[in-house]
Amino acid sequence: MGVLGEFKKHWFVTLLCALTAVIFLGALILSSVNYVRVVDAREGIVLGNAQEYADELSNGSLRIGISVELRNPSSFGLAISSVSWYVSLDISDLGGSPFLPLATVYKGATESLFVDAHDTTVFEYYAIVSEAVKISQIRDFINFSSGQGVDYTLETAPYLHDFRLTGWIGDFRHDYQYSGELYLNDMVRIERGYSEGVYT
């Protein structure tokens, strides 16, 4: 009896086996497509169009800010777990501490930030530096640079912006604790940054 004949003779068992095979093949294809989409999201989600600004206010304070776009062309939403922005000024030439911290913003997972699929979200943060000591140190730096032949103002000083963002793709599980399974968390984790004109 040939292969087909044997299958026909035991048609019920054959049908059960074939159905199971089809179900698992479907699950495998679905999972592979999910995998491709996750990899696609990992490569597609980027920061861009960062704009830094600094304004001198009428009361002598400094308003400093940043605006960064997060583009999510993937088909998964992105749950933002943390956003941090740090601004400083490199004053190492003046002696003393090398960096003058000006502003810090940190948003954790409790903020429930979410970027929808196929969407672009603009993250915009600003801070007002009004401490006389800090303004004075910035002016010292400006005066020092002027002596070196570089003219800065409060608005054009070379502030160092460091913007970091982490998030989770879709609603895939990402709470694995065992060291051999941490790659699963990394698989669905997005970590993007912007610093000194460079996107990472």
List of residues contacting another protein (CB under 8 A): 2-3, 6-7, 10, 13, 17-18, 20-22, 24-25, 27-28, 30-32, 34-36, 38-40, 42-43, 172-174, 176, 180-181, 183-184, 187-188
> Is the distance from CB of 64 to CB of 87 less than 8 angstroms?
yes
Instruction: Report residue 70: phi and psi, to 5°.
Output: -115, 115
- Shorter beta-carbon distance to another protein: residue 31 or 153: 31
- Shorter beta-carbon distance to another protein: residue 3 or 132: 3
Conformational region of residue 132, where left means phi above 0, alpha means psi within -120 to 50, and beta covers everything else: alpha
Cβ 7 to another protein shortest distance, Å: 8
Q: What distance in Å separates the CA atoms of residue 116 and residue 71, rounded to the nearest whole number?
A: 10
- Shorter beta-carbon distance to another protein: residue 105 or 184: 184
Q: Name 71's bridge partners.
A: 46, 120
- Shorter beta-carbon distance to another protein: residue 43 or 93: 43
Cβ 181 to another protein shortest distance, Å: 8
Cβ 87 to another protein shortest distance, Å: 33
Strand ranges of the sheet holding 46-56, from the earlier edge strand across to the other edge: 46-56, 62-72, 119-129
> Is the distance from CB of 173 to CB of 182 less than 8 angstroms?
no
Cβ 78 to another protein shortest distance, Å: 16
